[in-house]
Amino acid sequence: MDQLEKTGLTWPKSWRGVYFFVLVTFVAWVILLSVLSLSFNIE
Amino acid sequence: MNVLDYVILVSALLGITIYGMWKTMGSRRLGTYLRGAPNTSAMNIGLSVLATQASAITFLSMPGQGYQNGLGFVQNYFGLPLALIIVAVVFLPIYRRFNVYTAYEYLGSRFDAKTRLLGAILFLIQRGLAAGITIYAPAIIISSVLGWRLDVTIVLSGILAIVYTVSGGSAAVNLTQKHQFTLITIGMFAALFILIEKLSAHLGLMDALTVAGGFQKMKAVDFSFDPNRRYTLWSGLFGGLFLSLSYFGADQSQVQRYISGSSLRESRLGLMFNAICKIPMQFLILILGVLLFVFYQFERPPIFFNEVSWNSASHGTASAKLQKLDQDFDRIYRQKQEYIKTWIEAKKTGNFTGEASAQKAAQQAQSESEALRDQAKLILHETDPLTKENDSDYIFITFILKYLPHGLIGLLVAAIFSAALGSKAAELNALATTSTIDIYRHFVPVKSHEGMNEITREAKEVWVTKSFTVFWGLLAISFALFANLISDMIEAVNILGSLFYGVTLCLFLVAFFLKWVGGNAVFCAAIVAQGLIFILFFNLKISYLWYNLIGCFACALFSVVFQSFFDWRSATHE
């Protein structure tokens, strides 16, 4: 029931959308940091 | 620090504190005092959660972590966004539905009084000890570099936090944290911009990152499966997930921050704000440390960053040895600087052979320079056993005091103290709330106040909570005054948390997901699992993050085994 409550945001309107957005942001950060490691770190 | 710095420091700290007290004082209703104002917004909750976790230790130690070990520490936070989603979906709705003041109240409803007490006591021990470190850690560093008296710094900052936490309770903590965090953000960004600007006199940002990478400071993600490595993607994801889940889901200092929302929506959005902001925030603090490392390749760093200890030892019996080490360090520093300049020049002209050989020479010089630092630390420690060998906590504050303009120095010292006060106040507020709701009410139940009207009873419980706030505040001050040097403060807090968090989290996970497990089984399991964690901690050399996971799994497994045993025993007795 809790998940059906509206977020009140323009976007994302559902909580699932909010969680999905957070996960995508997290994955984007891990990829970005991995690219940073590969681009600059010299063993 | 000059007069301007002191004016900014004192007015910022007192201004925020007095404003917070003025806006929230006089609350006699228990709900407002323990949960905060009923109209607390999502942004306020988000900042409050962020400020509670980011103590002064974060802003002092973490740039030093970046300087010494590079970006790898950021992986510790990889489990956090996932944990916050789980808290928002599972924990938060249950806390709001049961309308609890503390997380442990729920354990009482689901299991029994003894399991509730166990959860509350585990929290009080762990957070009570950590509260001492929260106040001691910035005080020892700031007092040392500024020449202030350590005991006066600890007592004054401790009392300031006690005063406004007692005065306005949770509402004052929420309100002050918002302004404190704004001050911290301004201060940290100002320091980062000035560092980049000073660095640009020697090399551009991309070249600076190349140099940092050459010294293995840019390895943000490590895919290794080696459990002995302290920071890897896997320890961050799994260990970090359990650490964050325990911290945000079962630690009252955080639970109290987000249950204060005016609705479920506000609390959830506040948590999601943290889930998005935390990794970039930690990354920015660590990259500040990495850039400080590059900056100190062009500006002569001290051989030992705790210059007070260095200066005192330099005038003692080891003076000649230290002087010789300092001269060698200076010679190697100059050589290294030349190698780095040649390396960057070769890179720009496409001379790959020259680039590789200059980089190798610079790395060799860095190893020699580190060896000299290690020798110096050993001598300093032999001269004065109280000298902390790890000087990484002093790196950022040394930069602030030496290279930032006056005014900004005061602002940054105020930011560091604000961070200390914000997390300290949240801890005191949570310790006092748990003491009142889970311990005091256990012995003096609400029904024992029969005949007393609700407002009078609540006023009495607010008074009890205020007394507990003073008690925990004074205990933390005493602990800080008598605390000895701890090798790495941020790690000390995390290690302490990791030893208790796994078992505490298990109590909640069993409560939510293993409905057939009862209070007796989970209580015995928690005691056995906590004992096991202590045995493993003193006998194994694995990353401390794993103890969150081990503690949680061990406790869950024992709960199932004990419950099956109790079921079997009662079945055979029937």
Cβ–Cβ < 8 Å for B104, B288: no
In this predicted model, which residue has the larger pLDDT, B488 or B45? B45
Residue A22 sits at the chain B interface (C-beta within 8 Å): yes
B113, pLDDT greater than 90: yes
Cβ–Cβ < 8 Å for B279, B77: yes
B12-27 in b/e form (b: 16+ CB < 10 A) is bbeebbeebbeebeeb
- At B491 the pLDDT is 67
Residue A3 sits at the chain B interface (C-beta within 8 Å): yes
- At B38 the pLDDT is 83
Shortest Cα–Cα distance, B206 to chain A (Å): 9
- Mean pLDDT value across residues B160-182: 92
Residue B429 φ then ψ, to 5° = -60, -45
Strand-pairing partners, residue B261, are B40
| Residues in chain B within 8 Å Cβ distance of A31 | none
Q: How confident is the model at residue B485 (pLDDT cuts 50, 70, 90)?
A: low
- At B24 the pLDDT is 85
Q: How confident is the model at residue B72 (pLDDT cuts 50, 70, 90)?
A: very high
d(CA B56, CA B470): 21
Q: How far apart are the first and last CA of chain B?
A: 77
Q: Say how far residue B474 (Cα) sits from the centre of its chain.
A: 21
Cβ–Cβ < 8 Å for B433, B465: yes
Shortest Cα–Cα distance, B84 to chain A (Å): 10
Residue B216 sits at the chain A interface (C-beta within 8 Å): yes
Strand-pairing partners, residue B40, are B261
- At B382 the pLDDT is 86
- Residue B237: name the closest of B62, B79, B427 by CA: B79
- At B449 the pLDDT is 75
The rounded mean pLDDT for chain B is 91
Q: Is the bond preceding residue A12 a cis peptide, omega within 30 degrees?
A: yes
pLDDT in tens, B490-502: 567 778 888 888 9
- At B498 the pLDDT is 83
pTM above 0.80, yes or no: yes
- At B91 the pLDDT is 96
- Mean pLDDT value across residues B294-303: 95
Q: Please name the member of B78, B265, B275 whose beta carbon is closest to the beta carbon of A22.
A: B275
pLDDT in tens, B314-373: 887 888 899 999 999 999 999 999 999 999 999 999 898 999 999 999 999 999 999 999
- Residue B225: name the closest of B214, B233, B216, B217 by CA: B233
Residue A33 sits at the chain B interface (C-beta within 8 Å): yes
- Half-sphere exposure for B498 (CA within 13 Å, toward CB): 24
**B81 and A36 in contact by Cβ < 8 A?**
no
Residue B233 sits at the chain A interface (C-beta within 8 Å): yes
pLDDT in tens, A14-29: 999 999 999 999 999 9
In this predicted model, which residue has the larger pLDDT, B474 or A1? B474
**Mutate: best of A1, A7, A11, A19, partner B, most B CBs <10 A:** A19
B487, pLDDT greater than 80: no
Q: How confident is the model at residue A43 (pLDDT cuts 50, 70, 90)?
A: low
Mapping DSSP to helix (H, G, I), strand (E, B) and coil, where does residue A21 land? helix
